Amino acid sequence: MPMPATAPVTEFELALPAARLTGRRWGRPGATPVLAVHGWLDNAASFDRLAPLLVAGLDWDLLAIDLPGHGHSSWLANGYSQAQHAAALLGLLDALDWQRVTLLGHSLGASIATLLAASLPERVQQLVCIDALGPLSAPPAQTASRLRDYLLAVQPGQRRPPRPLPSPAHAVRARVQANGLSPANARALVERGLRQDGDHWVWRTDPALTLPSAVYMDEAQVQALLAAISCASLLLQADPPGRFIAPELQQQRQACLPGLQSVRLGGGHHLHMENAHAAASAILAFVNKTESKA
């Protein structure tokens, strides 16, 4: 796919009762609405490479949002869960009067997108998941110990302030090492994810996002959710496979959506950044095929 001329991008901000949400927006206002949702501890810059390629080939109004507690969006006072994130995104869709949307999610964002697609099928036209299909699960036997870990972690004095960084370059190196990102892609996330505080730098991300989750669904609940998704769906899987979901569970989850299209692409967990052209080609082919059947 040839590289298009740089698509104009604008900054987005909207104050909702639950949170002030920010993001980046590409495409034509009034075109097909698309909400892009990034992964855990990332931000809207996760889609800086992919979004221009998509709006060059599709008549889309693509909004990449900073989830609450991430990027430039405000923090939540009472902690975080995927259901809370989904509720915030539903509030955003209502505020924009986006009654039926395409959801494009990576990792955590893909998990949140599946929650919306399963519970509100009338609001989701198409679903594109990048290296995740449904939320993480845990056996019921782990419920008590997981809740214990959460309760102890949220007690006063247990949370440490974020460690200051001497420069953005230190943050870039940390993201490269942690995620296998190229320095350029790590820099895009870091530039949106840091703020200067005197002579040092700190992450904008709410430290509460790193606390253990109080409750996980078990795998049967996750698969029941996936089975409730009725819209056309695409899964872009990383090659080599990611480490978050066991291969046998991944196969079981895919079988819950009989019409699911699955494509495996190189580029690691952040394949939409590291292999943006291939990811865009797969998404364009999926959308064109889906719309031709409509």
In the chain, what are the domain boundaries?
9-137+217-292
Sequence letter at residue 149: D
Catalytic residue among 107, 182, 213, 230: 107
Sequence letter at residue 122: E
- The half-sphere exposure of 226 on its side-chain side, counting CA atoms within 13 A, is 31
281 in active site: no
Nearest to 134 by CA among 155, 103, 113: 113
pLDDT tens, residue by residue, 259-281: 999 999 999 999 999 999 999 99
Nearest to 272 by CA among 10, 49, 78, 74: 49
* Helices 219-227 and 108-119, packing angle to 10 deg: 60
Q: Which two tokens stand for residue 195?
A: 């703020």
- Structural fold of domain 9-137+217-292: Rossmann fold (3.40.50)
Task: Give the pLDDT of the chain (294 residues) as one tens digit per residue.
Answer: 444 446 789 999 999 998 999 999 999 999 999 999 999 999 999 999 999 999 999 999 999 999 999 999 999 988 899 999 999 999 999 999 999 999 999 999 999 999 999 999 999 999 999 999 999 999 999 999 999 999 999 988 766 777 899 999 999 999 999 999 999 999 999 999 999 998 999 999 999 999 999 999 999 999 999 999 999 999 999 988 877 788 889 999 999 998 999 999 999 999 999 999 999 999 999 999 998 776
pLDDT tens, residue by residue, 221-264: 999 999 999 999 999 999 888 777 888 899 999 999 989 999 99
